[in-house]
Amino acid sequence: MTHYKMIPGGVTAPKGFQAAGITAGLKASGQSDLALIVSKSSAIAAGVFTTSQVRAACVDYCRQQLQKKASARAILCNSGQANAATGEQGWQDALETAQLLAKTLKIEPDEVLLASTGVIGQRMKMSAFREGISPLVAALSETGSDAAAEAILTTDLVTKTIALETTIADRPVRIGGMAKGSGMIHPNMATMLAFVTCDAAVSTSLWQEMVQRAAQRSFNQITVDGDTSTNDALIALANGQSRTPAITETGETAEQLEAMLTKVCQHLAKAIARDGEGATCLIEVQVTSAPDESAAQQVAKTIAGSSLVKSAIFGRDPNWGRIAAAAGRSGVLFEQENLKIKLGDFLLLEKGQPVNFDQNAASDYLKKAAAGAYLKEDTVLIQVDLGAGEATSQAWGCDLSYDYVRINAEYTT
């Protein structure tokens, strides 16, 4: 079992990383809108990006850079404009921002990775961007994680950061992370950005594999509204500054590092789901006894993404039928007579049959009311046992409230 502890510092907790966040004037609100993470030395870089066919310039830029060389020194992120569906000029804007930052940091442009978030179809405000690069670099510090996390937000209500530490070869190894996301969130990435820093030494191929698996077990298992975005990105840098032996092959040490990486990503993913636009609670779906992990993942995220399930939870209605229906349409084969569903501590369905709360009508009403009251908790746990194997998985989402419609109806007005 991997032992790690939570520590302060976010993305600057690992050795050799600095961060900054400033107000450059990209947002009309006047809130901070330009963030930067920098490694003092070259870092192995890995990325997972949106599956959408409509992509922001920064996504194509990062994919292109990481295909050429799997290393980087800096991640530059703006909020306010998505720079998606902006054509050739949007691409040129992205190139210019990388070149501006590289010149100011005195590094090569191909050592810069980019991310953007905001309104689709809007180019970045380049005049503000050009003026903002120098003060952004000047603001870099080893305590700048919180400022950077603030600068990447759009409709988010809270910042999302974490840092964990473990011991490898008698030396501390740290992973830090920060993320943004609130709406347009759905599996296969979403309008979410996540940046992870690590001071372990790890091979290029192994790091990319770890990051992909961690994303599959975290960010690809969250859903708010069923909409996949143009801009989503998970970018992870590992700079080796912990001075631990290089991890170059699978084994106990690699598993230890990946477990901590997955924990960081799951923490950020759950924070995104909990901060879903208009959400009043986090929904956690645990699926057990599935044929394999992929099947468990599919059932879990189908339930978490069901509008009917999400609406029922917002209405504090313990409607297990909607949960069963979502599991049944997930595309995973199982026998309905083996299905078991629990809502918190309340057993609702067993062996494919509804479980009466109590034979006494009055008592039955009270217990149903108690199950409804459970749905007022900050986190609602749905447990589904398929009785079809030994694999497990989780997914996270949020309830669907009136405010979700209001927030998105007014997003660009």
CA–CA separation, 240 and 255 (whole Å): 17
Question: At residue 167, what are phi and psi to the nearest 5 degrees?
Answer: -120, 125
Which residues are CB-neighbours of 251 under 8 A, at least 6 positions away?
none
Question: At residue 12, what are phi and psi to the nearest 5 degrees?
Answer: -100, 5
Q: Is 230 a catalytic residue?
A: no
CA–CA separation, 388 and 211 (whole Å): 29
User: To which residue do tokens 């810069």 refer?
Assistant: 112
Amino acid sitting at position 98: A
* Contact predicate 58/116, CB 8 Å: yes
CA–CA separation, 286 and 396 (whole Å): 9
* Among 166, 191, 228, 262, the one annotated catalytic: 191
Catalytic annotation, residues: 191
